Structure 1
Amino acid sequence: MELSASTGQNAEKGVVVNQPSEKKRSISMKRRKAEGEASGKSRVIDLMNPKCCGKDVSLEEVKMFTKNQLKLHGYVGEEDLTSVWSEHFPFSVLAEEHFQSKTDIDLIGSVDDLTRAQFMQVCAARLLYVGRFKELKARREAEQKREESVKVEKSMERGKKLQLAMEQITEKDKELWGLKNEIADLKGKVHTLEKNKAELETRIVELCGQKKAAEVSKEEHGYDMLLAGFERAKKQAEFLFPDVSFDKLDPIKVVHNGTLVDDDEVDVEGGGDHGPDS
């Protein structure tokens, strides 16, 4: 701006001043950053730094971003001349006929180039932030979809595990039901065995009684046999010795010390006289 003012003043005086044009030279990012820090502008972004704006930016991300934007930032052929991406689209005609009015032209013309340039920077910056917002939103939505997909997969996996567990529970229930039936059958058998045991114990008692009675009967039968033999022997003796009286004979007595005594009064171990020789 100072150069323009000086040139104007010299032109009014009729003096033409030729200012030597400065050669354009590239400024390294390191120098630019150093100059920014020296002037107090600490938010100079070092694009050569792999860590930009506090975030790691890989070369693959940059390539992918550029690859995704190639179609939108380029031009297509002549297939559709009505497309704003066509290389022959009449932008100037469209702007003059549909996007400009005298009021708008006067409004834009009422400000200087600096104001219009600043306005374009504001619009571009706002569009940049809107685009960045949409990009982050799309990423968040994609991440949410991915997380939901993972959740669905995990839910399906949990469902399969739950189904398997239910099937195992059903099998265990069947096995438990079978064991309960076996236990019931065994209880029935135990009850039957206990009943049979009681009947057998009763039968044993009856048999013991019958055995005892048989033993008593056996003793009585032996005594009867003894009496029958004694009577038979007595009759034979009376037949053989008719002159002798056998009335004093007693089958339950024995001869002891020259007299007839009861059998239970004789000490057999002491050597009674009821042996064969007696």
Structure 2
Amino acid sequence: MVETGLEAFRFSISWSRLTPNGRGSVNPKGLQFYKNFILELVSHGIEPHVTLYHYDHPQQLEDEYGGWLNRRIIKDFTAYADVCFREFGNHVKFWTTINEANIFTVGGYDGGNTPHGRCSTCLSGNSSTEPYIVAHNLLLDHASASRLYRQKYKDTQGGSVGFSIFAIGFRPSTNSKDDEMAIQRFKDFFFGWMLGPLTYGDYPEGMKRILGTRLPVFTKKESEQVKGSSDFVGVIHYLAASISNAQSQPSLPGNSAFFTDIGASLTCRNYNPQ
């Protein structure tokens, strides 16, 4: 990294490695590993950017209450974040709570082709409801960890807490009004799903209209906590896509309720789903 001239490096801390049971005692070897690594970066002038969650959490939390499908994870994740802020915060100034929150939610609980492998046609899962439940809990979880940092650590450590999404460059397949409307639905579902609550405290009206009772509702207090809870938004961008209006199943792997809800098909460029 030094020879390449890197000035910053983003990496993830494994929740399972640091607190294997999900809460309680910290694994001293895991703690020391990350301390050594962070100090090595800093000593060579490389700014560490830490992601707290990159799709793995302790198995005990999955077995005990279903992981992200249960709001109980908010308390446990906030406690895990507290350990990280306390132990590494003197050298880490940039924290991302969740990596690619939207694609993690869709892939893990709608298509089933990424962790945690749940979908309507998988061994377990419900693609029509679980992605929206998980996303809701992710947002509340982020807000909780961000609030903790601002109340307990920001004044002394001076860092920032942000959120990460996966971004696609959209363009309509044709100049038709239907394809233009499909683009807006894609933006609502793919970007506004996460950025709407973080910016305005609520989901886009288009999502609420299409999903109805399948979309969880923020209480007034939750809305106030989520709104403005990100100091920055991390955008991860790999590809572009053409969007077409569609009422049938889109041309994507798996039985995806999420893309059916959008009512559009997506054709990626420079992308092989295999």
Q: TM-score range by the shorter chain?
A: under 0.3
TM-score by length of 2: 0.14
- Structure number with higher helix proportion: 1
Q: Which of structures 1 and 2 has the bigger CA Rg?
A: 1
Using CA pairs under 8 Å that are at least 6 residues apart, name the structure with larger relative contact order, 1 or 2: 2
TM-score by length of 1: 0.14
